[in-house]
Structure 1
Amino acid sequence: VVSDVPGLIEGAHEGKGLGLTFLRHVERTKVLAIVIDAAAIDGYEPMQAYETIINELRAYNPNLLEKPRVLVLNKIDLLQPEHIDQLRVQFADKESYLVFTSAATGEGTSQFVDVLFELISTTLSTEEPIAESLTMELPPLPEDFSIRREDEYWVVEGRWARYISRYDTTLPWDFQYVQREIRRKRLEEMLRQMGAKEGETVVIHDKAFEIL
């Protein structure tokens, strides 16, 4: 069951707007996905919007904050990379799962689905069978990239490389996602076909990895 709860406003726990109706639906869910407008088109700064939602959930029923959840910062296609980096730092200690997405371009949506599937799979009760797979039609990620040799490094460039470089590989979840993307693209296989050897360094846009 998926419950879409649009725009919890301040005072929702007191019945403002359709607050109580929305919040009752939230109680039935096993996992929460808090989606924030990262571009602040609606006039609310991302942190302000996030704190409003958390405060309303807490005021209505503190147990709601015990549910597994993921924070999604959407509309990143409207932001400059440095702004995304600032938001990543700003929200780093707020949630265990933080995903940046663009519903318009599809960027980050694959990671969002992966996170949801992981959280749902680990919280489903024994009475409800865990789905073997979760499929969803998503806009394709940027596919084009090129590989070249530069001195002692292998350099991967292009839209896909720039997309990957946005993830903070010092964070466990981001690192795992980048590793999955590298495997999905069969990047190491392509590098070996071009002569790359174990232990050599490959630079994807501005991030360095070691070939295993």
Structure 2
Amino acid sequence: KPKIADYPFTTLVPHLGVVYVEPGRSFVVADLPGLIEGAHAGEGLGHQFLRHVERCRVLVHLLDISGMTGRDPLQDFEVIQRELELYNPDLLRRPMVVALNKADVAPAELRDRVRDALRERGYPVHVISAATGEGVQVLVYSLAELLDSIPLPATPVEDMVVFRAPRQDERAWSVQQTGEHEFTVQGKGIERLVKMTDLENEEAVRRLQRKLERIGIVQRLREAGIQHGDTVRIGDEEFDFVDELAEDTS
């Protein structure tokens, strides 16, 4: 949830949110901090915020028309437009919508003056109140229709990089001594085999032991210096090494 308060430029960091228009229809909105003069040159973290603007297909100016801040909404609009142009002139060619907020407390003269001035310049203007919900639904549907009419930007083929993880041989395994009387067997396939074995079932354990002998793990453990009674770790399981050769010679 963005932190908000009753003063200008209260949003400090960009926030993303999903607007659900109707079942199966939605769009993402980026709530961006207000820009100050000099933002194009990095003032007030301007570059950080303007980079987010570049990712948006439609720009919505949210202007406070309550008349309580002592600011001129039209002047604020001009400041933001100028900063957008100085940062990247292409931004001004994107579809723009103006939302005049706090209509529930706005003086009629100020509301009409700002609305008429912006409409004369060709901007779609919506008079809304986030507090009461006035005009918000109409704005949402208008933005959804506008976004539906704008093709998604195509990603240049040369910019697409496909990363493929190297194939791992699931039959591969390794043995290493990990403690004074502890040895660890690693390998995707063998770890899965142990995980799938019912270790409470004596016959299943014997089958596992024969498998370890057949693929050479038992022999490799002996070559690594394992002794009768040492611990063998495979995945999450631990086993006591019972060297049948040692038992036979004893």
- Cα distance, 1:83–1:42 mapped onto 2, change above 3 Å: closer
Deviations for 1:41-78, whole angstroms, at most 9, x for unmatched residues? 34321111100110010000000011111011111111
Report SS of the residue matched to 2:84: helix
Partners of 1:59 and 1:40 lie apart in 2 by 28
The equivalent of 1:21 in structure 2 is 48
For residues 67 and 30 of structure 1, the distance between their equivalents in structure 2, rounded to whole angstroms, comes to 7
Residue 57 (structure 1) aligns with:
84
Q: 1:114 aligns with which of 137, 141, 157?
A: 141
State the partner residue of 2:226: none
Instruction: After TM superposition, give the deviation of residue 110 of structure 1 in Å.
Output: 1.3
What are the equivalent positions in structure 2 for 1:1-212 lying under 5 Å apart? 1-125=28-152
SS at match of 1:35: strand
Task: List structure 1 segments (4+ residues) > 6 angstroms apart after TM superposition.
Answer: none
Inter-partner Cα distance in structure 2 for 1:126 and 1:18? 27
| Bigger-Rg structure (1/2) | 2
Structure 2: which 5+ runs fail to align?
Answer: 1-27, 156-250
Assess, with a 3 A threshold, how the Cα gap between structure 1 residues 40 and 21 changes in structure 2: closer, same or farther: farther
1:127 deviates by 6.6
Structure-2 separation of matches of 1:126 and 1:30:
9
Identity %: 45
Once residues 86 and 101 of structure 1 are traced to their aligned partners in structure 2, the CA distance between those partners, rounded to angstroms, is 15
Q: CA deviation at 1:38?
A: 1.1
Give 1:88 shift.
2.3
Q: For residues 90 and 99 of structure 1, what CA distance do their matches in structure 2 show?
A: 13
Cα distance in structure 2, aligned partners of 1:23 and 1:91: 23
Q: 1:13 to 1:40 in 2, by over 3 A?
A: farther
TM-score (norm 1): 0.56
Higher relative contact order (CA 8 A, sep 6+): 1
- 1:71 and 1:95 in contact (8 A); partners too: no
> How many angstroms apart in 1 are the aligned matches of 2:153 and 2:131?
37
Q: CA RMSD in A?
A: 1.9
Classify the secondary structure of the residue corresponding to 1:22: helix
Unaligned 5+ runs, structure 1: 129-212
Q: How many residues align?
A: 128
Amino acid aligned to 1:94: R
